[in-house]
Structure 1
């Protein structure tokens, strides 16, 4: 028994040798069109001549034929077989199959053209990507070059401002010196912010996970700004909960940068009252601890609308803020980017004319007790005295030489200064030192070239620390300097405290 559905898609019949239908054997497809004693050529005109040419006992298949039945066209395949006394004809209705095949062919063609178009678009995207990458590299190179050119004179401005402030001068000159220092530091912040934003946009921001004391970072940040804050109507405070661990894994520089940005903003916009950093534990599990830093002030505050935009790039709440307070409105945007990279978050609560609280939450990896002890030992070991240490400084900039001499003579070091790399080489061949500071860009022999000639130095100078004194501060520059022989880098512009601390760590 043949299933009904199958019978609907085929018809088997027989004809004599001249094409007259002699029997309907099976099937129902187009049965009304084919009648016994009718000529098969009436419906299948394409069989004329074909039936006559059939070889006995040799099956033949005709694919993709068209017949009309009840005014409808059908795509059919026909199998023919000639025996000794008749011809067997099997007609398959393949209309739906051919429609599907036709659609598949069309889809295949469409896919082919889409693939070709995608390939062309991908090539175009590759080309545009190369252009964008090149433009990004050029931008980074330009920013690095401009940073170097700005940092050198900025180091002189800030250095001499600091030196002037230590002299016995009248109040008006002291005020001029203070304003000069404020402007220089504002310019330093802008340069750093632009470089940081460039690194973030280029995806080159990398964080370091090392043992750090977060309470000390926050406390030192408050103390540093306490020294800078000359407004006696504003008091700075620091508070930390007792259950804050002594050490965690984190990035010292970036944590300090976040807190410094927030504290700097608080000082800018607070004329009287208090500013504080509070360190609190939010949550803790076996491996991590989440710490919140609350930077509060009693300043001018913000409206809800202003607070909603405060983390946007170049955002400043008043048009006059840039003129009055300096900066480019990048600080809080960079803070948010840094926190995102740390899987942290920041929020702000503020009331107009009452004050503002910035709340940052950062998850830190916990440290084992042994690592905490090592950190405390390392902190103690960095507290050294420079008195009597023999230090060589090579720098072709006379103004920078005076600043370095001013700082180091206060530390009572035995200082030797030369104006280029060639003079430094001659001195290093004959005189022993405890540490050497080299400017990178010097005539005759550069700092990079000199540090690679240690085999020509006096034996005692081959193992002493060499520090790079430079305005080239990109990560790539620092990595290259350390690779060729410098143990560390002192980046211009620097404060006297930063300068001495960096030497203390490495001597």
Structure 2
């Protein structure tokens, strides 16, 4: 039994050799068009001549033929088989099949064009990515160059401010020097913030995981701001839970940066009342701990809208804040990004005219207490005296030379100063030194080029420690300086204390 649905898509008839239908064998497709004793050529005119030419016992197929029935055209395939007495004609209705095939072909064409368009778009994206990468590289180079160009005069501003403040001067001049130093430090913060933001965006900011003591970091940070705070109407408080683990793994510099940023804002915007720093432990186990830092103030506070935007880049709640307090509005944005790198978080609760509470949560891994003791012993043992030591300083900036001479005059060293790399090379060939400081960017021969000519130095100077004086202190820069032979780097701008400590450490 042939299913009804199948019968509707075919018909099989037999004809004599002249094309007259002699029998309807099976099927119901277009059955009214194929009647016994009628000519098959009426419905299938293309069979004329074909039937006569058929070979006996040989199957012959005609594909994609068209027949007309009830004013409707049908696509059919026809199979012919010539026997001794008649011809078997099997007609398949492929109209729907051809429609589907046609649609599939169209879909295939569409897919082809889509794939070609995607390929073209991918090529465009590759080109755009190359352009973006090049733009990022150019931006990094620009920031590095601008960092150097800004930090050099900034070193002079801060250096001379420090020198002036140490002189016997009247109160007005002392106040001017103080304001000059404050403005210089504000500019230093802005430069550092911009570079930090650039490093984070480029994915080049790397955290250091060493054994640290949270109690010491927080205490030192708060004491630093307590000394800076000249407003007697504001009380600075510190509360640390006794159960805070002593030794954990973390980045001391970045934790101090986070706390300093929050404390700096609290001091700026609090005219009276109190600022408090609370350190608590959220959880603690054998491997890790989470510590919560709360920085609260009784300052001017914020609206909910202001608080929701406070961690955005370049965000300052009042247009006058930049002029009054300085800064570029990057501090809290960088804090948030640093905490994200640390797997931590920051949030704020604030009430206008009442104050704000910033909450910082940071997870830490546990450290080994013996390591911190060893590192302290090693660090302390490396600090030596530079009295009567022969020091060579090469720097093409005359103002920087004056600052260095002023700092080292108090240390009773035997100082030699030259203005470029060529002079430094000539003197290193003939005179021995205990320590050499080279500015990286000098005319004639740069500090880096000079380090690569060590074989031309006097024999004793080939083992002399060399320090790099530079404003370029990215990770890549530092690795390059250490690779070519510098033992340490003094970053511009530097304070007199930092400058001398670096020298004593490496003498």
TM superposition score normalised by structure 1? 0.92
Q: Please name the residue that 1:283 is paired with.
A: 283
Structure 2: distance between partners of 1:52 and 1:2: 31
Whether 1:263 aligns to 2:260 is no
Q: Which runs of 5 or more residues in structure 1 are unaligned? A: none
Cα distance change of structure 1 residues 41 and 469 upon mapping to structure 2, 3 Å threshold: same
Q: Please name the residue that 1:328 is paired with.
A: 328
Superposition map of 1:134-153 within 5 A: 134-153=134-153
Q: Which moved more, 1:121-130 or 1:410-419?
A: 410-419
Q: Please name the residue that 1:465 is paired with.
A: 465
Q: Please name the residue that 2:193 is paired with.
A: 193
Tell me the alpha carbon deviations over residues 377-428 of structure 1, each in whole angstroms, 9 at most, x when there is no partner.
Answer: 1123223243435443222222212222333344454544333323333443
State how many pairs are aligned. 504
Q: Please name the residue that 1:478 is paired with.
A: 478
Q: Which runs of 5 or more residues in structure 2 are unaligned? A: none
Structure 1: distance between partners of 2:125 and 2:175: 56
Whether 1:312 aligns to 2:309 is no
- What is the Cα deviation at residue 430 of structure 1? 4.5
Aligned to 1:317, the other structure's residue is in SS state: coil
Q: Which moved more, 1:127-136 or 1:410-419?
A: 410-419
Is the contact made by 2:440 and 2:448 (CA closer than 8 Å) also made in structure 1? Answer: yes
- What is the Cα deviation at residue 151 of structure 1? 0.8
Cα distance change of structure 1 residues 155 and 32 upon mapping to structure 2, 3 Å threshold: same
- What is the Cα deviation at residue 157 of structure 1? 0.4
Structure 2: distance between partners of 1:283 and 1:76: 79
Superposition map of 1:55-70 within 5 A: 55-70=55-70
Q: Please name the residue that 1:353 is paired with.
A: 353
Whether 1:374 aligns to 2:356 is no
RMSD: 2.3
Cα distance change of structure 1 residues 14 and 502 upon mapping to structure 2, 3 Å threshold: farther
Is the contact made by 1:236 and 1:274 (CA closer than 8 Å) also made in structure 2? Answer: yes
Q: Which moved more, 1:306-315 or 1:6-15?
A: 6-15
Is the contact made by 1:382 and 1:504 (CA closer than 8 Å) also made in structure 2? Answer: no
Structure 1: distance between partners of 2:144 and 2:238: 36
Structure 1: distance between partners of 2:102 and 2:260: 69
- What is the Cα deviation at residue 504 of structure 1? 4.5
Q: Please name the residue that 2:502 is paired with.
A: 502
Structure 1: distance between partners of 2:411 and 2:240: 33
Structure 2: distance between partners of 1:67 and 1:22: 20
Q: Please name the residue that 1:180 is paired with.
A: 180
- What is the Cα deviation at residue 439 of structure 1? 0.6
Tell me the alpha carbon deviations over residues 283-331 of structure 1, each in whole angstroms, 9 at most, x when there is no partner.
Answer: 3455432222222222211111111111111111111111100111111
Is the contact made by 2:436 and 2:466 (CA closer than 8 Å) also made in structure 1? Answer: yes
- What is the Cα deviation at residue 165 of structure 1? 1.7
Tell me the alpha carbon deviations over residues 13-37 of structure 1, each in whole angstroms, 9 at most, x when there is no partner.
Answer: 2111121111222223333332222
- What is the Cα deviation at residue 56 of structure 1? 1.9
Aligned to 1:382, the other structure's residue is in SS state: helix
The 4+ residue runs of structure 1 with deviation greater than 6 A are: none
TM superposition score normalised by structure 2? 0.92
Tell me the alpha carbon deviations over residues 211-239 of structure 1, each in whole angstroms, 9 at most, x when there is no partner.
Answer: 33333332222233233333233333333
Aligned to 2:463, the other structure's residue is in SS state: coil
Q: Please name the residue that 1:235 is paired with.
A: 235
